Amino acid sequence: MKRKGEDFLCSEFKSDWTDNFILALNSCGIPVCFIYGFCVSHAPNYNLASHFTTKHSEINVKYPIISDSRKEFLHKKEARVLFFASYEIALLLARKKKLFTDPEEILKLALNIAAIMLGDKN
């Protein structure tokens, strides 16, 4: 039997949150805002909706929820994050004076790539 409010308190990330609230999961499983790159404090649906409506109210006006412009906006944000992640890896490899083809160094930095892509600032 489902308890009252259980769907609001569910901490599992739902795929429609990316479309509705422009969020992704970081390496710790916490929702991260694509626009600011900050972690949203808690995962319940009402907290995510509150963050989105207070901080990003203009996004729904510029990019309606089910539209090509919103999908393009999300794609550009993801591409920018990928760009910064690849730049960060190149910088770390250059500091260590290692080759880009060195698989051991790339494997060590794979966690950094994932953290940067998912908005983890550490």
Strands 31-33 and 23-25: antiparallel
Longest CA span, the chain: 59
According to the model, what pLDDT value does residue 88 have? Answer: 78
37 backbone φψ class: left, alpha, beta (φ>0; ψ -120 to 50): left
Q: Is residue 109 part of a domain?
A: yes
Reply yes or no on whether the pLDDT at 5 is more than 50: no
According to the model, what pLDDT value does residue 97 have? Answer: 87
CB atoms within 10 A of CB 52: 20
- 48-57 average pLDDT score: 77
Q: Is residue 25 part of a domain?
A: yes
Is 0.75 surpassed by the pTM of this model?
no
> Range of 88's domain?
15-118
Reply yes or no on whether the pLDDT at 35 is more than 80: no
Q: Is residue 67 part of a domain?
A: yes
Q: Is residue 5 part of a domain?
A: no
Q: Is residue 6 part of a domain?
A: no
